[in-house]
Amino acid sequence: MQLHELRSAPGAKRSRKRIGQGIGSGLGKTAGKGHKGQKARKSGGVRPGFEGGQMPLTRRIPKRGFNNARFAKQYQIVNLQFIEDRFETGAVIDAVALQGAGLVRKCDEPVKILGKGDLTKAFTIHAQAFSAQAVKKLEAAGGKAEVI
């Protein structure tokens, strides 16, 4: 298949609805909006979640207790298997090195190292958090996990 042979799926391309183009078009007069009513008006319609004046669902359900979502720390997660692939034995790895290797997006946000994958090289890793499995695998390979 060549680029010039690519086609959209049948029915994927539809011509736009040309409303108000006369009676013969099938969408003249009321332009497919019916007669009168809120939805027939120029800027007619209601906002999402509006239930016609009835107390909306978002306000009806109880909101109790504490939710930690606003205060929870968001970590950038890196697995040991990716560190193994991208760094040499004995490397000292921090957030800047991880960003340079393309493993994290921002070097100023907290990083957590997880223990997925096997580790054969010894590293010294500086991060804000480590999983227990990651620490165990690092120390077994002769490396060090340093919490900053």
Q: Quick: pLDDT tens for 71-96.
A: 999 999 999 999 988 888 888 999 99
Query: What is the pTM assigned to this prediction?
Result: 0.57
Q: What is the pLDDT of residue 17?
A: 87
Distance of CA 133 to the CA centre of its chain: 26
Minimal CA–CA distance to 83: which of 107, 128, 114, 109? 114
Task: Check: CB of residue 60 under 8 Å from CB of residue 54.
Answer: no
Domains of the chain: 76-147 (3.100.10.10)
Q: Quick: pLDDT tens for 50-75.
A: 999 999 999 999 989 998 988 999 99
Q: Quick: pLDDT tens for 38-47.
A: 999 999 899 9
